[in-house]
């Protein structure tokens, strides 16, 4: 994403930062977001015509090395080119930065961008305490904007947003940079002169999500299956190698985080906290709580509340398209041409069904808009009924529980053409609805909503059971 004209979306976040740029006073803005989502690109886009001091942390580097690189950046910022000696600690480093900013800018707006902020806190470095002192002793009284970014969302929340010492209540504003939506993904590709059908864009999204760095690897003229093979299966394929670095960059003892992700990738319905413990063999205590909380904060997993059930029965579900695809097709099979050869198989169709459900859940606001209920208060939930000796179990992965005494049961089906319901299909859907109503004793009006790429053929079966039909275009 080297060219700035590739910038897409982020309107609200741009407005938020602009307020602090125009402010006469001190602001500390924290920007969070997963690896590769475009945090650095976002900040550079906002500050493109501004003079600012920029330093990026280096993962697993020593304090001495970081201080040396920080000194290089300070010396680059000195207009008269009188070079300063490298600082011996972070307190001295920030004193040097303070002196340079005062000499160069005086009362003018000073802008500091500290990228990968968590990586500056190496062992026994006292970086965070030095930064706290820098802010409270000097910066807070200046006309200054300090932007700090970090991919380690959990570290940022714990040590910056919820800081209990020198940065307590000091952050002026914080927000997350999220992956692109389907619509933003389409806009991004069009700016790269890549014109794909919305059906192919949805397939692409189901494999790698709306992560800009991944999307930037797509080349014009490739079909979905071809660029999946190139990005995931070729020798040194970038999105095969990426997985090995993804969790290492975010978490200490990352293997346990990967274990939880891999376990959830095999469970379509998700798992409760206790089921995660049993499936992974991890101990029941603070450790597993920390892992689950941090994976949720980083949006790798999501918590799904079952309809009318207690919190302890909630399910944790894999929420990252890239991780889901990796564990289904890449982890143990990296042969070139592999995906093209299996593209039409039941295994791929099964994954597509699961990935499409995840995509629809993430685009619930679009579903609500298509239903004409954007202004209605709703809660998202799921429902599962276990099998008995007499009847099979079933699960509803997406339900919209509405304040207007209505519940939308969403059935999501991924087909490459219009879906035609048979008598058997209609009977199954009707039975599920009746069993849900009977089991929950709900008094609300229950509507069956079908979400499919190309809609439902209108016949006596669909007319008898389907209340709403939402198309692929409605998700853009």
Q: How many Å apart are CA 321 and CA 317, to the nearest integer?
A: 12
**Contact indicator for 25, 85 with CB cutoff of 8 Å:** no
Longest CA pairwise span in the chain (Å): 85
pLDDT in the model for residue 1 = 47
According to DSSP, the residues that pair with 111 across neighbouring strands are: 145
- DSSP line for 254-287: HHHHHHHHHHHHT-TT-B-HHHHHHHH---TTHH
Task: Tell me the chain's radius of gyration from C-alpha atoms.
Answer: 25
Percent of the chain having pLDDT more than 70? 96
Ramachandran class of 124: left when φ > 0, alpha when ψ lies in -120 to 50, beta otherwise = left
Tell how strand 468-470 and strand 144-150 pair up. unpaired
Taking only the tens place, the pLDDT of each residue in 250-274 is: 888 899 999 999 999 998 888 999 9
Residue 223, pLDDT score: 87
Q: pLDDT tens across 7-62, in order?
A: 898 999 999 999 999 999 999 999 999 889 999 999 999 998 898 999 999 988 99
DSSP label of 84: P
Q: Is 282 left (phi over 0), alpha (psi -120 to 50) or beta?
A: beta
pLDDT per position as a tens digit, 427-461: 999 999 999 999 999 999 999 999 999 999 999 99
Q: What percent of the chain lies above the pLDDT cut of 90? A: 72
């Amino acid at each position: 994403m080297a060219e700035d004209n590739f910038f897409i979306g982020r309107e609200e976040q741009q407005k938020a930062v602009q307020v602090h740029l125009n402010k006469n006073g001190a602001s500390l803005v924290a920007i969070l977001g997963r690896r590769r989502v475009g945090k650095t690109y976002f900040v550079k886009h906002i500050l493109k015509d501004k003079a600012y001091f920029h330093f990026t942390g280096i993962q697993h580097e020593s304090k001495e090395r970081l201080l040396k690189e920080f000194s290089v950046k300070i010396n680059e910022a000195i207009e008269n080119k009188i070079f300063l000696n490298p600082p011996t600690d972070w307190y001295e480093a920030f004193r040097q930065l303070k002196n340079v900013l005062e000499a160069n800018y005086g009362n003018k707006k000073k802008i500091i961008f500290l990228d990968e902020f968590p990586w500056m806190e190496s062992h026994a470095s006292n970086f965070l305490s030095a930064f706290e002192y820098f802010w409270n002793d000097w910066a807070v009284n200046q006309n200054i904007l300090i932007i700090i970014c970090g991919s380690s969302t959990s570290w940022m929340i714990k040590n910056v947003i919820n800081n209990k010492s020198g940065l307590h209540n000091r952050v002026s504003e914080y927000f997350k940079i999220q992956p692109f939506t389907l619509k933003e993904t389409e806009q991004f590709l069009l700016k790269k002169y890549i014109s794909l059908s919305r059906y192919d864009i949805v397939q692409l999204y189901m494999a790698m999500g709306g992560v800009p760095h991944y999307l930037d690897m797509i080349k014009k003229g490739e079909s979905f299956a071809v660029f999946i093979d190139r990005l995931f299966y070729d020798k040194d394929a970038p999105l095969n190698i990426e997985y090995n670095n993804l969790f290492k960059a975010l978490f200490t003892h990352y293997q346990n985080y990967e274990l939880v992700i891999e376990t959830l990738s095999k469970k379509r319905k998700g798992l409760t906290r206790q089921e995660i413990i049993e499936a992974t063999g991890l101990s029941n205590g603070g450790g597993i709580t920390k892992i689950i909380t941090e994976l949720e904060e980083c949006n790798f997993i999501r918590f799904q509340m079952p309809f009318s059930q207690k919190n302890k029965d909630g399910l944790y579900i894999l929420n990252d398209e890239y991780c889901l695809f990796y564990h289904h097709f890449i982890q143990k099979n990296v042969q070139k041409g592999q995906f093209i050869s299996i593209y039409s198989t039941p295994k791929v169709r099964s994954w597509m069904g699961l990935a499409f459900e995840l995509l629809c859940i993430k685009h619930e606001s679009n579903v609500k808009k298509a239903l004409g209920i954007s202004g209605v208060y709703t809660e998202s939930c799921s429902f599962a009924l276990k099998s008995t000796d007499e009847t099979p179990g079933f699960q509803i992965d997406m339900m919209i529980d509405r304040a207007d005494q209505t519940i939308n049961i969403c059935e999501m089906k991924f087909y490459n053409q219009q879906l035609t319901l048979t008598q058997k299909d209609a009977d199954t859907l009707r039975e599920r609805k009746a069993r849900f109503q009977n089991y929950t004793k709900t008094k609300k009006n229950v509507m069956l909503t079908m979400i499919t790429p190309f809609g439902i053929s209108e016949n006596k079966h669909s007319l008898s059971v389907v209340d709403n039909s939402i198309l692929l275009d409605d998700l853009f």
